[in-house]
Amino acid sequence: MASEESNSEKNSFEKLKAPIQEIIKFADTFDERYREKCFEVLLNSYLSSDGSHKLEDAQLPKAESKTSPTTNDDSELPLDIQAFLQQNEIPNEVIAKLFLRHKNEVRPIYKIKETKKATAQIQIALLSAFENALINPDNTFEFSIDEVRKRCGEHNVYNSANFSKTFRTNANLFKDLTTDEEHVKLTPEGKTELAEALLAVAKQ
């Protein structure tokens, strides 16, 4: 029969099992190079406090989380973009709904639900111009026809028979449409249409 002392020791280890697993789970949220130190600090903190110390109260080493937080800080928007949003009374929240931004990277997260392909193709062109302005302020509100054609295919709104005609019909929205298909810029009318497209797609 096990002695009372050995039973007491066993119970003590059983009581440690759950908090240790919790500490391991928490330490795994840190970059691999910091996990061991994080575990050590948390365990020592827990043991020295007789189990009353909470994880959030522990003094952790400064570490980088495994997953970097998404950055959508309004102050990071290029000045021309900020001016455009203010002029057209577009809330910054609209941009967060359409684009994921982190440092110098931008990813479109919008879905085109417009059923009329001609309208959807123009929306994608306008949003592509806005995306390029987010990535590189020097490319203010411009897009590539080839890139838009590809995006239209991804959104299942590409109409090969009428794609070029759609842009010619809306030529007032674009500069350099016939001279430089790699750098098609928006006209003032195009920027007005862009503002409407941002709001329309964000509501879809």
pLDDT at 67: 41
Task: Please state, rounded to an integer, the average pLDDT across all residues of the chain.
Answer: 80
- If you average pLDDT over residues 170-192, what whole number do you get? 92
- If you average pLDDT over residues 151-159, what whole number do you get? 95
- What is the residue-wise DSSP string for 158-174? --TTTHHHHHHHTGGGE
% of the chain exceeding 70 in pLDDT? 75
pLDDT at 35: 67
Give rounded-to-5 percent helix, strand, coil for the chain.
60, 10, 30
Beta strand residue intervals within 60-157, DSSP E: 99-102, 105-108, 142-143
Of 60, 57, 98, 63, the residue nearest 81 (C-alpha): 98
Paired with 65 in beta bridges are 30
Residue 138 has pLDDT above 80, yes or no: no
pLDDT tens per residue across span 89-110: 999 899 999 999 887 789 999 9
Helix (H, G, I), strand (E, B) or coil at 105: strand
% of the chain exceeding 90 in pLDDT? 48
Residue 160 has pLDDT above 80, yes or no: yes
Residue 52 has pLDDT above 60, yes or no: no
Residues recorded for the chain: 204
More confident residue, 60 or 98: 98
pLDDT at 63: 45
Q: What is the pTM of this model?
A: 0.63
pLDDT at 49: 66
Least confident of 14-18, 193-197, 199-203: 14-18
